[in-house]
Amino acid sequence: MQVLFFIIFLLLYLITVCGNIIIMILVIKDTRLHSPMYFFLANLSFVDMWLSSNATPKMIGDILKKKKTISFGGCMSQIFFAHFIGALEMVILVIMAYDRYVAICKPLHYSIIMSLQKCIGLVVTAWTVGFVHAISQMMVVVRLPFCGPKIIDSFFCDRPLVINLACMDSYKIKILMNIDCGVVAVTCFILLLISYTYILITVHQSSKTGASKALSTCTAHITVVVLFFGPCLFIYVWPLNIIWMDKFLAVFYSIITPLLNPAIYTLRNKEMINAIKRFISQ
C-alpha cells in the first residue's frame, strides 16, 4: 500500500506542478492571453504550485520511511506557508471574481478600471494579506510551550494538530485562531458571493449569447471556489474533529485542489485550449 500511495501521490504532484507551469508559460508567451483575467490566472497557478509543494514532497519522501520525522523549524515553516498561501489564494479568487464582475457588469469601463497598475496593485494586496495572516498565526504557535508527546497524526504540520501538543489549556487559543482564520475566509467568501450574485443578475438580464459565454467562464471560477473553500472552512474555521475526515480534507486541500484548478480552467476555457494548440504547433 505504501508503494502504491508513493506512486499515486508522486504522479499527482508532478502533474500538478507541470500543469500549473504550463498555464504560466502560456499566459506569458501567448499575446492573446495578455489580459487581466489571464494575468490573475497565472498568479493563481503560481500559488497553486507552491500550495502543493508546501507539504507534498515531504509526505511523498516519508511514505517509504519507517521513521517519519520533521524538525521544529520545518514544522513551523509548513504552518506558516500553509496559511500564507491559503490566504493569498483566497484573496486572488476574490480578485478574479471582481475582474469578472467588471467585465460583465461594466464592460465599457473594463479597460479603464482594470488597468495594469490596478492589476499589479490588487496582486500586491493579496500577497500582503497572506503574509500578515500567516505572521499573525505564527506569532501565537511558535511561542507555545511544547514539552509532552511530539507526535502528529497527519502527513504534515497542521496548525490545529500542533496546538494540541502544547503543554497548556489551548481552548481559548484555538478559538482565537479560528476567529483569525474565519475573518479572512468568511470575508473572502462573502465578497465572492456578492460578486457572483451581481454577475448572475446581470447575465440573466442580458442577451442569451453573451449570457452563455459569461456563465461558462463563471462556472469554472465558482467550481474552483467551492473546491478550495470547502476543505478550508472545515479544517480551520469550523473543525469537524473527525480524524479520518480531517486527513481526507488535508489531502484534498494540499494535493487534489491544486491539481483540479488548472484542469478546470483549461478544459472549460476555449481560449486556453486554443492557446495550448498554438503552443504545440509552434
What is the pLDDT, as a whole number, of residue 209? 57
d(CA 238, CA 100): 29
Asked if residues 13 and 52 have their Cβ atoms less than 8 Å apart, the reply is yes
Residue of higher predicted confidence among 237 and 219: 219
pLDDT of 85 higher than 70: yes
111 has pLDDT over 60: yes
pLDDT at 237: 62
Residue 158 has pLDDT above 60, yes or no: yes
Q: Average pLDDT over the chain, rounded to whole? A: 85
Segment 93-120 shows an average pLDDT of 90
Q: Worst-scoring range by mean pLDDT, 36-40, 114-118, 219-223, 272-276?
A: 219-223
Lowest mean pLDDT among 41-50, 81-90, 200-209: 200-209
Which grid cell sits at 68?
517519519
Confidence band for 67, pLDDT divided at 50, 70 and 90? confident
Q: Delineate the domains of the chain, giving CATH numbers in brackets.
A: 2-281 (1.20.1070.10)
Residue spans of alpha helices (H) in the chain: 2-29, 36-63, 72-105, 110-113, 116-141, 159-163, 171-205, 208-232, 243-251, 257-267, 270-281
Residue 66: DSSP 8-state: S
Segment 127-133 shows an average pLDDT of 94
